[in-house]
Amino acid sequence: MVSNLKLFSTGKFDFRLHHLLIIGILAISFSISFLIRSQSAAFGFELNEFDPFFNYRATQFIVDNGLGAYFEWHDDMTWHPIGRNVSATSQVMLHVTAAVMYQIFGSSSSLYDFTILFPVVFGSLTTIIIFALVRVIGGTTAGLFSSLFFAISLPIIVRGNLGWFKSEPLGLFYGLLGLYLFLSAIKSDNKKHALIKLIGGGIIIALGLASWGGIQFFIIPLGLFFLVIPFVRKDHRFLIWSIPVFTAILLLTAMAFERPGIDFVFGVGGFLLIGPSAFLVICILIQKISKEEKKLRNGLSFLAGTIIAGITMISVSEIFPIINMPSFRYLNAINPFLTTIDPLVDSVAEHATTTIDQSFFFLSVFMIFAGLAIWLILRNQEKQTASSIKIHNDMIAFTLIIGIIGVHVSSAFIRLEVFAALSVIILSSIGLSILTSELFRTYKPSKKKLIKSTRTITKISYVVIILILFILPLSIPAKGNWINSQLIPATILNGGTGFGIATDDWLSALAWLKNNTPQDAVIASWWDYGYWISTLGERKSLADNSTIHTSIIKNIAKMLLSEPDRAWQMLQEMDADYILIFISSQKIQKDPNSIYILSGGGDESKKQWFMRIAEVPLSKFLQNDGISGTDHFWQNTLFGKMIPYSPIGYIDSGSGLFSETYQPGSVGIYTKDIKFPSDGNGPLRLAYSSTSFEDENIGPILGIFIYEINKDYNPNSES
């Protein structure tokens, strides 16, 4: 066959034409992934979101001071005055990997630019890793499909685009690489090679855990796979030592890090590995001593007892500390029916529960391919043997387990849609490879019960249909498809608002902090902006995005909603020198009667979360729409007075009628009103405002306002 044409030989390896085809498709996958992830460069070359700025600063610390100093580092720039033990509260392997890679490959660029590209490169390299993983499960064709699907999958790209120097891209790279080595090991006929791969797989998955806590997702299907594999594999002598070796290496490596560390090993994660590994060994021994006709029954009975005992232990551990229980976020991922009572967790956008509409948008036509795959995989044995693709029973079991678990956990948080995407990618790739193989298979005329070759028109139709389905999510809808949905600026260029603009308002404000405030100044702000303040502003912040000390965040929320005099006293207790707020607004009418609306995603849109976190009655501060402030909010809270706008009335969104008081369904309109001017004697003095605040053009405004706390202020004793 032409595809088997030998091009050249290297030692014992013959490089054939189909190898060239594989390399070409992988190169295309890498390139597509790289281009889609890099679209935001059109707006500016910056780190994206909030956490990447801390990760950049931590990586810079390693580059400047070395690993020894990093593991001793207590950062005093965040959570003033408590500080932060960085290695115990961070994704250590993200910082270490980036620092090592930079020292090897990044000498020609700045570390900042290197970390901006880091997620794009590792995310695109993962197209090759998933090819290798799925190839082990379902063959080369399935692997190539998975590589292409991974390159365009929106949930994966969203959490790994340009500047996204966070845990997910590297965590997925390590996690999928570790899974590949594990599955490759248990399929290997060479036991020495298998042992090396098992050790490597255990180490690399542990590195993934130290890069991103979400990699604990892979522990669930691994544990379930260990429970199933004694029933689908006959080489029990190999399994009885290989699975425990893999588990031991993984857990020992995880213990070497402070995070996940010993809490993971003696927690649910370790339990999901140790328990099934122990079950596998005991189950094999039970089957070995059982009579042939009772082996399956005894094994299944032991499995049922093990599952019941495991569920009981986990349930009891919520009351008695038999097993270290993870945080609510991880429990919620396992059981999406749990309901959080923590408004701080709820306030984080990526912790929102995934809606059906979002699931269909994120997974799109791959849901069809995945459903097709399940049907093809579960066909009766007679039809399955007609296919040229043979998938071993253990690989079928693993595919179905990871597919079901991935979809299950993704229903908890929108952030976890990445695992649903992985599940449907693996299933879709295998399903399409089986279907493609059968449609394009040729049969020798000498055989009995011949099946005629599929007609050319059928083959062409199949290719056209698959291409159309493949292209649909990339092109429809025109302004919201998978490709251009990522054509958005980095968060620091639009403040995380819904405005599709890129400005230097935040960069200028942080530069002002750096150049115009004392080096030991402490900045109060909502916790979202802590990493920006400490990294770009180079000033101490009261709170950052790590949520290590939630009581401090709650205290900041209470301060913002307190009366100005009380809030001033609280700021003194916090040792703050400046306080920063971010207000997103739009000018809808020019001078001489400039009119604004407040909306878009700044602190004005987060105030309801301030109230929930502070545990104050919302009705006291908000109108019935849950957004518009009451008179009490505007006149009696520090935050209301810090906002340099005041309401002048409300416009009905339907009829356009104006009212001086709030009416249901109306939208507030505002004028400029600086209550704490720079030359005032109040508790605060306006020290800095964004240049866009003074812009006379109609359009969106990203308003960063920095107030100096008046240390000489004398609160009214009657307040």
Query: How far does CA 434 lie from the centroid of its chain?
Result: 31
Mean pLDDT of 308-325: 74
Strand partners of residue 583? 703
Q: How far apart are CA 209 and CA 314, in angstroms?
A: 21
Q: What is the pLDDT of residue 146?
A: 95
pLDDT in tens, 607-652: 999 999 999 999 999 998 888 999 999 999 999 999 999 999 999 8
Q: Which of 5-14, 423-432, 566-575 has the highest mean pLDDT?
A: 566-575
Cβ 670 vs Cβ 647: under 8 Å = yes
* Per-residue confidence band for 318, with pLDDT thresholds at 50, 70 and 90: low
* Per-residue confidence band for 147, with pLDDT thresholds at 50, 70 and 90: very high
Residue 85 has pLDDT above 90, yes or no: yes
Q: What is the pLDDT of residue 490?
A: 93
Q: What is the pLDDT of residue 566?
A: 95
Q: What is the pLDDT of residue 482?
A: 82
Phi, psi of 525 (to 5 degrees): -165, 175
Residue 138 has pLDDT above 80, yes or no: yes
Q: How far apart are CA 225 and CA 220, in angstroms?
A: 9
Q: How far apart are CA 98 and CA 103, in angstroms?
A: 9
* Per-residue confidence band for 195, with pLDDT thresholds at 50, 70 and 90: very high
Mode of pairing for the β-strands spanning 578-589 and 595-598: antiparallel
- In this predicted structure, which of 45-49, 126-130, 442-446 has the lowest mean pLDDT? 442-446
* Per-residue confidence band for 719, with pLDDT thresholds at 50, 70 and 90: very low
pLDDT in tens, 658-670: 888 888 888 999 9
* Per-residue confidence band for 29, with pLDDT thresholds at 50, 70 and 90: very high
In Å, what is the CA distance from 453 to each residue of 2, 184, 438? 18, 34, 9
Given the structure tokens 């400047």, which residue do they identify? Answer: 64
Helices (H), 517-599: 530-535, 550-560, 564-573
Q: What is the pLDDT of residue 328?
A: 57
44: DSSP letter: -
Q: What is the pLDDT of residue 1?
A: 43
Question: 287 is written with which tokens?
Answer: 């089957």
Query: How far does CA 437 lie from the centroid of its chain?
Result: 35
Cβ 76 vs Cβ 187: under 8 Å = no
Range 268-271 contact pairs with CB under 8 angstroms and sequence separation of 24 or more = 268/314, 268/323, 268/324, 268/325, 268/326, 268/330, 269/209, 269/216, 269/219, 269/326, 271/310, 271/313, 271/314, 271/323
- In DSSP notation, 560-629 reads HTS-HHHHHHHHHHTT-SEEEEEEEEEEEE-TTS-EEEE-SSSGGGTHHHHHHHHT--HHHHB-TTSSSB
- In this predicted structure, which of 289-293, 538-542, 553-557, 714-718 has the lowest mean pLDDT? 714-718
Count CA within 13 A, CB hemisphere, residue 58: 30
* Per-residue confidence band for 319, with pLDDT thresholds at 50, 70 and 90: low
Could you give the percent of the chain with pLDDT greater than 70? 88
Residue 99 has pLDDT above 60, yes or no: yes
Q: How far apart are CA 329 and CA 643, in angstroms?
A: 33
Q: What is the pLDDT of residue 451?
A: 47
In Å, what is the CA distance from 583 to each residue of 91, 608, 625, 640? 31, 14, 19, 11
pLDDT in tens, 517-539: 999 999 999 999 999 999 999 99
- Asked whether the CA dihedral 72, 77, 81, 84 is positive or negative, the reply is negative
- In this predicted structure, which of 258-267, 309-318, 573-582, 663-672 has the lowest mean pLDDT? 309-318
Q: What is the pLDDT of residue 602?
A: 92
Neighbour tally for 12: CB within 10 Å: 5
Q: What is the pLDDT of residue 448?
A: 46
